[in-house]
Amino acid sequence: MNARLTISALAAGLLAVTLAACGSGSDDKPATSTSDAVSQADREEARDAARKAAGLPPEPSATARYAIDPRISKPGKDDQTVSRGLTQCGSIKTTTDRGRLIKLTLERFTIDTRLPDISNEATGGKILDVVHKHLCPDF
**Cα 35 to the center of its chain, rounded Å:** 29
What percent of the chain clears pLDDT 70, i.e. is strictly above it?
Answer: 62
Residues 120, 96 contacting (CB under 8 angstroms): no
Distances (CA, A) of 113 to 23, 70, 106, 127: 42, 16, 9, 16
Domain boundaries, the chain: 3-53, 62-135
Output DSSP code: residue 26.
Answer: S
Q: 48-64 pLDDT, tens per residue?
A: 787 777 766 666 655 55
- Regarding pTM above 0.85, the answer is no
pLDDT of 82 over the 60 cut? yes
Three-class DSSP category at 93: helix
Taking residues 100-113, report their average pLDDT: 94
Taking residues 88-96, report their average pLDDT: 92
